Structure 1
């Protein structure tokens, strides 16, 4: 069956046999592809692209943030592995401490919401174990852009401008880093970050004298966790500063917290869907949402699976609401005493459970929060409050990334402000494949640390101040992140890496892409270009964590008939504009012919694919 789609695409799907890269910024894509051209493998290329993203998309990610990835190697093509770069809550991040600060939720901005920074150590671990290049070669790209400058994106300039008043009055270190003569940069002007370039140079230098490439990278990882970076962070955030709740709080992250944690590898969680194996993170992330939604939809015929039709859009939205309700009721880090056991997680992915959930999908939109039942597990529902009940949420710390929300947003602003970060996919000629989603540490998430050129992330805002919650705030446990890259295999061979920025929308938009590729058999670029939609009928993962019962956000290109049909069914539809939702990218490999393909999102005119 071929799904409904536009007859033309914005760009061609790239095809070749050498290597393919796709990311959310053309400079990261170009840098990563250059690595492949110079003989590096997919892991060298992905790490180069990731460090470039720190520099060129600082409003969407940074060294003080986190990342998750999923990959396969040419040596073990049938074993998808998760690269776990999500740091845990610091030792001082207790519910009691936050309550004593007068908080009933973790703030969306400010260093009190910082988890242990996980991105840098994770990327260096991937390079150490699976790359081939020296660290100096890998970091040279990011150092060059940070020292010599790069043309600043309009969206970066707008983000800096929107936060400039806060920078000037409360976060002077951020003003020093991002403002010139008190003003935000003009779009297209060159911006530099010599402080971060120096951090990277120091990481390289600390490995001088070590006998092997791997030991030189290991030395850089130790320096990151125990050296100047860790000390500077711990010293700086002791001073109380403005947070998104309006209060002054000190951070609790210490040098010991950074020294005691390292990134790691985990086996991916998988589900078989119509001849394909989909690989995701475990329930410490939202990855199982995609698997649960696919399991629910697998029982429908193709007519119910086309997101471009009224029936398909309705069915997809309802399946997502059911999967997300389970996320917010049951998911959490395995280190928490209230988290799912492996046996309970297995229940969520069983065909019998999916059939029970599928039976709840009717002709009309549900307005209820409906988690399923796991035998022997007490469900803990999160708070359910609307924006009106919260009090017209606005300002710093709203959504992902945490940019101020306009007082009277247009539909486009309303849709765009909630959910964004970075993504990169790479496949090389040997069959190595990686999909990764770096995020956190946005320039507007907390004050910049003097001398480092970056700030801390705010991932703890995804944890609840509720002792009974499976994703409660608890020292040493990972926040239930939204970062959710995807790998697809067929007959034990990797065939696709994909992902998108977008917070709570990441697995929702990826579901649309997978349905269009695996069931609808659309061209990859056409599948990315096709009109997108998502539900807002779940508690948001980002401060202030509100929900909209029966809420659905759609691109206008979905069509008047389809949108009217959704509204008749009871969906509360918000129109986002024609080209507003999703920043998907993917790389594809045919293991039989060796042909590689790539496609990237045209929305925002920023993401690009490259290859040959």
Structure 2
């Protein structure tokens, strides 16, 4: 294959992210003596500014870390829970049968800021001011507006002007829709972070004390007060077509703390793969890997009809289990050990046939009866404006016509440093399309609550204080117990399909990370998406045209219902790690979207 970008290698640091400015910010922190965790946090805050259509301070993040000194992988959960007032009965009283995509009702406690603070406090070394300075600089001085952000603002401008007026003030300077590439500023967000720093520095003179003071200012101070007041007193036009106040309160913010958790893990040959727990979709990567471990992937050949078919069928089996079994294990037992047990995965593997399965079912583990909730089709109103169509779609991406499964976007940053530390984060939520900007703060709330079900008795049912299952799913891989690779991608439900394909290309076929990120990608769209309106396309396999006509024809003969999309359109995998043969650090970014870039020094 022809690789479009070189394999980047260096000796002092490697950063890969979904925006070139964030990658540069991360490398600048490494150049100043910071470690991978400092660099990831600084890049993460920069992403909140330069990719406002894909993430923000009011959203969520999942961070995986490998501190070399500890020799263990840990996961920082930046997925906030649902408010205490959020009950199925409360939504039923409002006449709502399916979680809305946008507005204030699906807001969870903002998890991103707290998770970044936990990362800095527990694993970082740099002062908070140094980490926040680049983001403040871009928010106050300006950054080039991405085409995706410009398209989002243009689509939502009528709503911003008439209803979400603080969003108009932030994203329609001079009441005009900004063009792609225009210099965009967010003075309110810059002011929010500057005030956080002032309060932190006034409260303490040491690094850890300032980080804690900043966290307190967000979750118990002026930011929590502003969120509480806005949610309680403002009726917001949302995706239901009506106006509703929010359920989130200052007490919900004050009660939440980001957890540092043990990951789920699976050995695979010389590798061990680490993923977040089943409050995310992360273990579905491991379930696919466990099923495929008994298949002769090398014998099939990379990118052949049999190879792609086998990956697609394994994905159907694993995602059926995700839909039936995954949820917040703090509220509902999730049988992860049983789902990853060799006997169970062998049984699931035996279900893969020569033809595409059109009705894959979850497996049974223990006495429980698995079941998958069914989405209720939404009926758009007559002559509905385009902005309402976009509002009903819970993904951050602006879609043309009706929203389709498989679309989506978010952010990723991965870092490896010269001390052998690895960090990878997938931030999302709090995007400008799905909730109004809170006046004076400069950012909207996240809407991750839309991924919960308004039904009783399911592991991912809505409940007060429960984390709605997130799609955010970073990965860390050790090889022979040594740091090897940290990676992730935007893409909602598809993240753990595209990243799995990259990993297998490296682990089974020996490709360098950069070449692996550029391979043609595929994904199933069989199950209801996590985001409203819960679209599904049973039996559909989305495939990039670059797979080639012979492979595509062969997949159709096997019964796959193909949706062939242009080359290089699925995902933006970002990876950073260590070459075990040379000890060089490596960065890799998929060329899709002409936006993700890596840096090595």
Secondary structure at the counterpart of residue 316 of structure 2:
helix
Task: Give the aligned CA root-mean-square deviation in angstroms.
Answer: 1.9
Partner of 2:62: 68
Q: CA deviation at 1:180?
A: 2.4
Q: CA deviation at 1:578?
A: 1.3
Secondary structure at the counterpart of residue 493 of structure 2:
helix
Q: CA deviation at 1:415?
A: 7.2
Partner of 1:378: 369
Q: CA deviation at 1:407?
A: 2.2
TM-score, with structure 1 as normaliser: 0.94
Partner of 1:90: 83
Q: In structure 2, which of residues 246, 265, 269 is the aligned counterpart of residue 274 of structure 1?
A: 269
Matched, 1:177 2:170: yes
Q: Deviations over 1:28-80 (max 9, x none)?
A: 00010011111111111001000000000000000000000111112012x11
Q: CA deviation at 1:307?
A: 5.4
Secondary structure at the counterpart of residue 33 of structure 1:
helix
Partner of 1:3: none
Q: CA deviation at 1:181?
A: 3.3
Q: Deviations over 1:171-226 (max 9, x none)?
A: 11211111123322111111101111111111111122414210111111111101
The equivalences for 1:5-404 within 5 A come to: 6=1, 8-77=2-71, 79-209=72-202, 210-238=204-232, 239-303=234-298, 306=301, 308-336=303-331, 339-341=332-334, 344-383=335-374, 395-397=389-391, 401-404=395-398
CA contact (8 A) 1:397 1:543 kept: no
Query: Taking structure 1 as reference, are residues 530 and 19 closer, same or farther at Cα in structure 2, changes over 3 Å only?
Result: same
Q: CA deviation at 1:426?
A: 0.2
Runs of 5+ consecutive residues of structure 1 not aligned to the other structure: 1-5
How many corresponding residue pairs?
596
Indicate the larger mover: 431-440 or 559-568. 559-568
The equivalences for 1:339-488 within 5 A come to: 339-341=332-334, 344-383=335-374, 395-397=389-391, 401-407=395-401, 418-488=407-477
Matched, 1:549 2:544: no
Indicate the larger mover: 276-285 or 158-167. 158-167
Q: C-alpha separation between the residues in 2 aligned to 1:544 and 1:43?
A: 36
Q: CA deviation at 1:386?
A: 7.3
CA contact (8 A) 2:397 2:409 kept: no
Q: C-alpha separation between the residues in 1 aligned to 2:586 and 2:301?
A: 23
Runs of 5+ consecutive residues of structure 2 not aligned to the other structure: none
Q: CA deviation at 1:444?
A: 0.8
Q: Deviations over 1:297-339 (max 9, x none)?
A: 0010024765511111111011001100100100000122xx2
Q: CA deviation at 1:257?
A: 0.4
Query: Taking structure 1 as reference, are residues 297 and 397 closer, same or farther at Cα in structure 2, changes over 3 Å only?
Result: farther
Secondary structure at the counterpart of residue 24 of structure 2:
helix
Secondary structure at the counterpart of residue 206 of structure 1:
helix
Secondary structure at the counterpart of residue 352 of structure 2:
coil
Query: Taking structure 1 as reference, are residues 505 and 480 closer, same or farther at Cα in structure 2, changes over 3 Å only?
Result: same
Q: CA deviation at 1:148?
A: 0.6
Q: CA deviation at 1:567?
A: 1.3
CA contact (8 A) 2:394 2:450 kept: no
CA contact (8 A) 2:98 2:376 kept: no
Q: CA deviation at 1:547?
A: 1.4
Q: C-alpha separation between the residues in 2 aligned to 1:206 and 1:80?
A: 33
Q: C-alpha separation between the residues in 1 aligned to 2:150 and 2:181?
A: 9
Q: CA deviation at 1:493?
A: 1.6
Q: C-alpha separation between the residues in 1 aligned to 2:372 and 2:446?
A: 26
Q: C-alpha separation between the residues in 1 aligned to 2:392 and 2:482?
A: 40
CA contact (8 A) 1:241 1:249 kept: yes
Q: C-alpha separation between the residues in 2 aligned to 1:350 and 1:105?
A: 34
Partner of 1:509: 498
Query: Taking structure 1 as reference, are residues 381 and 211 closer, same or farther at Cα in structure 2, changes over 3 Å only?
Result: same
Q: CA deviation at 1:486?
A: 0.1
Q: CA deviation at 1:465?
A: 0.5
CA contact (8 A) 1:95 1:466 kept: yes
Q: C-alpha separation between the residues in 2 aligned to 1:170 and 1:194?
A: 21
TM-score, with structure 2 as normaliser: 0.96
